[in-house]
Amino acid sequence: MFDLLLKNGTCLTPNGRVRCDVGVRDGRIEALGVPASAAAKDVLDCTGLHVLPGVIDTQVHFREPGLTHKEDIGSGSASAALGGVTAFCEMPNTTPSTDSAERLNWKVARAKETSWTDFAFYVGATAQNVAALGALERLEGCAGVKMFLGSSTGNLLVDDTVTMAAVLASGRRRIACHSEDEARLKERKPLTDGKTAHVHPEWRDEECAVRSTARLLDLAKLTGRQVHVLHVTTAEEIPLLARAKAFASCEVSPQHLTLFAPDCYDRLGTFAQMNPPIRERRHLEALWEAVRSGVFDVLGSDHAPHTREEKAKPYPASPSGMPGVQTLVPVMLTHVAQGRLSLERFVDLTASGAARLFGLTTKGRLAVGFDADFTVVDLAAKRTITTDWSKSRCGWTPFDGFEAEGWPVATVIRGAVVMKDGQLLGKPSGQPLRFA
């Protein structure tokens, strides 16, 4: 007797695509391929659908505490589940920043009550908490340490080499980094005077990203610490990252693979503004080449909601960031449909990659014994992404009007069907991710 049977789907397993039924018991995958006579308390009909290991989004900003007019853990995780995401790692630039055990524990306790999906939270590195980071990264529900090398939303920043090196020497787990060079950002800020968002990639130019990433990689090599470069945006960083695989992993975001300048600023203005910026087409093409060649390890949405009113402020007073946790799956499946990446590479970037990098030993793999987390998708579905569908509290999406081919139709977390056909089911029952 199974708790749940996923019937008649095509499963993306370590053995390739397999047409088999999946039996779930006690929140885990009990069997791949079950006798037709097998009984189950609940059946999810997956005829014509593909069953993927649950999508893990390792970069989101859910704004709680302090900025809950933009989002909170409940609304952000609901948006995630509606988009087929089964777990998230959330960033520390809330108000206050997540930079102590007390603040991390608060988020974990809150998420246990309100999160629709499984979760973990990064701790932000500061000059003041360096000595504590090694202990903080081992707390329940901690995704690891996040270091902002250049300033973005919030006030977390580590921009001097001595503190950076101290942070890298502070613990053991992979450190996630926002890589832009603060000195160059400051120096070039006057470029934005009287300009529109079109100047955003010029202010925060390629050199800002490359200089910062080169410095970070040198320090990582020197200290032997594993680093993770978030939302890479330039062609020039790719060869540096490709040579640094022994000590550095990297992430790409759907928006950097889909939107490009100047088109995105013509159409969306400040609503396309994010850090690091959306750049011109040659960068998008280089990022795709790095997806194909395997340089990128994971895909992260960098879901960074701000309200319409905030985003509509005249540049550069407009805040950087856009929502994305709910649109990650349909946008990327559309790229699959259009031949830019395989479904297997999508799974690698959204499930196995995240599990491998961060040490999620029971997730990221559709295999017996693993958590029964599934993103069930209809590869043939043609639907238009609309603001109405997007449930982030911020109330907008840069992908409004995007014609998607491929859609998440069910989200299953540890055997519980949390979303089916666009409806949330049950109540928030997320649990902290467990790391090796």
How far, in whole angstroms, is CA 334 from its chain's centroid?
A: 18
Q: C-alpha angle 37/40/42, rounded to 5°?
A: 135
- Nearest CB to ligand DOR, comparing residues 321 and 364: 321
For residues 320 and 299, is the Cβ–Cβ distance under 8 A? no
Mask for 110-149, x = binds ligand DOR (CB under 6 A): ----------------------------------------
Q: Which two tokens stand for residue 277?
A: 């910026």
**Dihedral angle of Cα 226, 231, 234, 237, to the nearest 10 degrees:** 0
- Nearest CB to ligand DOR, comparing residues 324 and 415: 324
278 near ligand DOR, judged by CB under 6 A: no
Cα–Cα nearest to 207, from 178, 227, 183? 183
d(CA 390, CA 409): 15
93 near ligand DOR, judged by CB under 6 A: yes
- Nearest CB to ligand DOR, comparing residues 213 and 275: 275
- Nearest CB to ligand DOR, comparing residues 61 and 391: 61
Among 86, 212, 320, 431, binds ligand DOR (CB under 6 A): 320
- Nearest CB to ligand DOR, comparing residues 124 and 321: 321
Backbone CA torsion sign across 41, 47, 50, 55: negative
d(CA 368, CA 24): 9
261 near ligand DOR, judged by CB under 6 A: no
Minimum separation from the CB atom of position 399 to ligand DOR (A): 16
* Residue 427: Cβ within 10 Å count: 10
Among 58, 98, 117, 153, binds ligand DOR (CB under 6 A): 153
97 near ligand DOR, judged by CB under 6 A: no
Q: Please state the φ and ψ torsions of residue 411, each to the nearest 5 degrees.
A: -125, 120
d(CA 396, CA 436): 37
Minimum separation from the CB atom of position 182 to ligand DOR (A): 13
* DSSP codes joined into one string, 80-129: HHHTTEEEEEE-S-SSS-S-SHHHHHHHHHHHHHH-SSEEEEEEEP-TTT
Residues between 291 and 310 with contacts to ligand DOR, criterion CB under 6 A: 304
Minimum separation from the CB atom of position 287 to ligand DOR (A): 17
Mask for 19-58, x = binds ligand DOR (CB under 6 A): ----------------------------------------
Q: Of 302, 348, 371, 373, which residue is the catalytic one?
A: 302
- Nearest CB to ligand DOR, comparing residues 27 and 66: 66
For residue 346, give the H/E element and its range.
Answer: helix 343-347
Among 275, 327, 352, 397, binds ligand DOR (CB under 6 A): 275
Residue 21 annotated to the active site:
no
Binding-residue total with ligand DOR (CB under 6 A): 10
152 near ligand DOR, judged by CB under 6 A: yes
- Give residue 228's identity as a one-letter amino acid code: H
* Residue 25: Cβ within 10 Å count: 16
- Nearest CB to ligand DOR, comparing residues 153 and 431: 153
d(CA 172, CA 352): 21
Mask for 182-221, x = binds ligand DOR (CB under 6 A): ----------------------------------------
393 near ligand DOR, judged by CB under 6 A: no
Among 87, 274, 351, 412, binds ligand DOR (CB under 6 A): 274
In eight-state DSSP terms, residue 246 is T
233 near ligand DOR, judged by CB under 6 A: no
CA distances from 101 to 139, 165, 177 (A): 8, 22, 20
Enumerate the β-bridge partners of residue 147. 177
User: Which residues are the active-site residues?
Assistant: 302
Q: Which residues bind ligand DOR (CB under 6 A)?
A: 61, 93, 152-153, 178, 274-275, 304, 320-321
